[in-house]
Amino acid sequence: MAIECLVLGAGQQVGKSCVVVSMNGKRIMFDCGMDMAYHDHRRHPDFSRISEYGDFDKALTCIVITHFHLDHIGALPYFTEVCGYRGPIYMTALAPSMLEDYRKVMVERRGEEEQFTSEHIVECMKKVIAVDVKQTVQVDKDLMIRAYYAGHVLGAAMFYTKVGDSAIVYTGDYNMTPDRHLGAAQIDRLQLDLLITESTYATTIRDSKYGREAEFLKAVHKCVLGGGKVLIPTFALGRAQELCILLEDYWERMNLKIPIYFSSGLTMQANMYYKMLISWTSQKVKETYSTRNAFDFKHVLNFDRSMISAPGPCVLFATPGWISGGFSLEVFKQWAPSEMNLITLPGYCAAGTIGHKLMSGKPSKIDLDKDTQLDVRCQIHQLSFSPHTDAKGIMDLVKFLSPKHVILVHGEKPKMATLKGRIYSELGIRCDDPANNETVCIPSTHHVEVGASNTFIRSSLNPNFNFSKMSSEDESDSRLKDGKFMPWLQVKDERAAEGILVEEKGKRAKIVHLDEFLLMLGEKKHDIRFAYCFPINTDNLEDTKSTDVSSSSNALSVSGRSSWLPMLYIKLSDELSGGNIQYFGEQIQVESFSVSLCLKDRCPYRIVDSPPNKCEAVFFCCAWSIADEKLAWKIISILENRNYGTL
């Protein structure tokens, strides 16, 4: 059975995320995002590919949303309210409450027309079923989903989905390194057929964040010590909280008394979300929560417009982040002309915003509009913290999960191709990076349900390990196998392997124990043995006797045939060092190899009929099992060589 993966969005692009996965008869849509670069139908995923006739309820089993960013959830109200999808929608508890705020921010910030109305959201959210982190939800009899912590933003989750034997993980956006307020992504080592992962930074590898944090703190500290004001333009959620925790912690340690302000009510409200949803934050925040909520900022005060021109140092968080307008622009106008002040900018600012202008070189003057020009003398500090994992993090996750197949989404095409190559070459995992509206088919695990016999179950309860030692001849070539070191001594426990799968017509398949299997067939166990009969020159043996065996054996009358075997034994013991040679009177045994005197005139295993010197030769018959083939031929050659050597 195959897993079909239809990429409706974020295929070789960073934009609307939407992937529809069909596995074992279930069809799940992961994320339902909006592309904000477009204003026409291209902003939404092409839902018609799911069902031509718009019968989405039948076509989809459920929708799973990873987090509340618009490029992951934006098209959902459209899909439910306009396209009419009525099936279940799963997302983390946070997303519904955030969506409304987020919509407002987007509308206010961009001054765009509303893409969906508040009523749409309310209606849409009624269909949502909330999932908590690590919660397992049985959607129906066969389909199970489980949310894992993704780190990217408050309430972001990765989803493990299992239908029958096929299992996949869809990551959404995630972060593999923790920051001050969110933890790193966390998942169990699962058996997966497919991993669908974001690849925003498919080739970037980031250094430690510590250095950047230290620089930021140093710049802020220096500025306020010199009596300057620090403006930190941010958006409401994410960086504001992270930086504020960082500053608070530093303020606390250094015992600084300079005020930190939050400008807008919105940020305060965002902090309220954080306080409510403490289980989605980092370990540190969770640990301290019982005595002090890390988001109850001790040093943070509300900022009043009248304070803009008040004297004295301070730190101010103001929205929006790119200084594209609003309050941060207002403050910027006032503070930029003074050399004492400092503006910190995020790593990315959209083109056309003042933030973008400040980042590209250090301009001394900025045109606010065509009439006004502003002197910029303040210091500028750039900060690049990203909530997305870097290439190393993607590789680490793929390596940890070791799925059978990887699909990359949410990234730029050329970079994805590089990462795809790395995943294949370094980890040996097949990887695809489909474009939008492409379908990838991958084979999935197919399990057959079988019964097991009691004997088999009992045999697998008892330990059954054994040790094997590679023979010394294997030494040179096989110790390094596939570049991995193989020790001589190895241990195996083959309980499970000892069962035999029996599929009889009209009956359920069953695993039975080896002994039972023979019984079922009414057959006996066959053991393949090799046999060989060869002559040994007795003259030669006499020599051995006189040289090797001391006078005591000489004293015995040695003409009897019975004494030849002990002589062989002595010879073998001499030449075959290390082997476990046993002498049983009638035969000599080395592992499974046995040799005894052949008294038959016509032995079926005799190849050479008569030795050169007929009367002096004695035939020996030997047998061994296939495992000891090399050993056997070694022994035979020892015995024979001696024989021919004297000729």
Partner 1 sequence: MDRDLPNSSCEQSIRSSSENPAEDSLSPETLASLRSLVITPSTPDTTISSIFQTLTRSLQLSRDPLVLHHTLKLLSDLASYRPSLSSSVSELVRSHALLSSDSTRLAAESLDVLASIAEREGTPVDLDDRSFVSLCFGPSVSVRSWLLRNAERFRIGPHVLLTTFLGFTRDPYPYVRKTALDGLVGLSKPSVVEDLDMIQACYCRAVELLLDTEDYVRSAAVRAVSAWGLMLVAFNLKTKLYWSDNLFVKLCSMGRDMSMEVRVEAFDALGKIEIVSVDILLQTLSKRVLGTTKEMGSFGQCPAAEVERSASSVAGVLVHGLEDEFYEVRKSTCHSLRTLTIISAEFSEKALNLLMDVLNDDSMFVRLQALETMLHMATYGLLKVQGTHMHMFLGSLMDGNMSISSATRKILKLVKLPNLETFKLSVDGLIDNLERHPQDEADIFSVLFHIGRNHGKYGVSIINEVFEEMEPPSEGKLGFDTARVAALLVLAISAPLSHGQHACNIPPIIFSYAVTLLGRISVALTDVMNQDTLLAYLSQCSRSTRFSAMEFNLREDKPHLPAVTIASLSHSSNEINSTVGSPFQQGEDGAANLQYQAIREPMEVASLHFGYPLEVQDEVIRSMNLILAKVKDIWPLIQSGFTNEVLRVLRSFKEELATFASGSLRFVGDVAFALQYLQVVKQLAKVWEHFLPARKLCSGMGELDIALGKLETSLREMRSRFTGLSLKQELQILELLLLTFTLRLSKVESCCQVASLKKLSTTASHVESILKLGSIEPSNFMSEVSKLSYLTRTSSFGAPCDPFLFKELLKYFSLEQFVVFGTIGHIKAELVVPDNDAENHLPFVPRLPVGIPCEITLHNICSENKVWVRMTMDDESTQFVFLDLDHFGSSDEVRKFTYVVPFYRIPSALSFILRICIGMECSFEDVPSVKRYGGPDRELTYLCQEKEVHLSMVGEH
* Catalytic residue selected from 81, 100, 119, 198: 198
198 catalytic per annotation = yes
How many residues bind partner 1 (CB under 8 A)? The answer is 67
Query: d(Cα 94, Cα 149) in Å, to the nearest integer?
Result: 13
Using CB under 8 A as the binding rule, whether residue 488 contacts partner 1 is answered as yes
Window contacting partner 1 (CB under 8 A); options: 36-44, 55-63, 478-486, 552-560: 478-486
Stretch that binds partner 1, among 156-164, 321-329, 344-352, 421-429 (CB under 8 A): 421-429
* 95 vs 98: CA distance, rounded Å: 5
Is 218 among the residues that bind partner 1 (CB under 8 A)?
Answer: yes
Stretch that binds partner 1, among 234-242, 381-389, 485-493, 592-600 (CB under 8 A): 485-493
Task: Note whether 463 binds partner 1 by CB under 8 A.
Answer: yes
Residues 294-333 that bind partner 1 (CB under 8 A): 298
Q: Is 506 one of the binding residues for partner 1 (CB under 8 A)? A: no
β-pair partners for 129:
90
What is the C-alpha to C-alpha distance for residues 105 and 77, in angstroms, rounded to an integer?
17
Q: Does the protein bind partner 1 through residue 490 (CB under 8 A)?
A: yes
Q: How far is 596 from 620, CA to CA, in rounded Å? A: 6
For 442-473, b/e burial (b = at least 16 CB within 10 A) is bebeeeeeeeebebbeebbeeeeeeeeeeeee
CA dihedral over 77, 79, 83, 85, signed as positive or negative: negative
Interaction pattern, residues 236-275, with partner 1; x per rule: CB under 8 A: ---------x---xx-xxxx--------------------
Which residues are within 8 A (CB) of 606 and not within 5 positions of it... i.e. 6 or more apart? Answer: 533, 534, 598, 619
**Of residues 157-216, those binding partner 1 (CB under 8 A):** 177-178, 180, 183-184, 186-189, 191, 205-211, 213-214
474 binds partner 1 per the rule CB under 8 A: no
In whole angstroms, what is the distance from residue 587 CA to residue 597 CA?
A: 8
Q: How many CB atoms within 10 Å of residue 521?
A: 9
Residue 574 engages partner 1 in binding (rule: CB under 8 A) = no
Helical residues (DSSP H) of 111-231, grouped into ranges: 118-126, 209-225
Among 138, 290, 551, 557, binds partner 1 (CB under 8 A): 290
Smallest distance, partner 1 to C-beta of residue 190, A: 8
* Other CB atoms within 10 Å distance of the CB of residue 195: 26
Q: Which is nearer to partner 1, 119 or 426 (CB)?
A: 426
Tell me whether residue 217 or residue 598 sits nearer to partner 1 (CB atom): 217
Bridge partners of 282, per DSSP, are: none
Neighbours of 284 (CB within 10 A): 15
DSSP 592: T
Could you tell me which residues are beta bridge partners of residue 530? 624
Residue 644, CA atoms < 13 Å, CB-side half-sphere: 6
**Considering the rule CB under 8 A, would residue 55 count as an interface residue with partner 1?**
no
Q: Which positions are annotated as active-site residues?
A: 198
Q: Which residues bind partner 1 (CB under 8 A)?
A: 177-178, 180, 183-184, 186-189, 191, 205-211, 213-214, 217-218, 221, 245, 249-250, 252-255, 282-284, 290-292, 298, 390, 392, 395-396, 399-400, 425-427, 458, 460-463, 465, 467, 469, 480, 483-493, 495-496
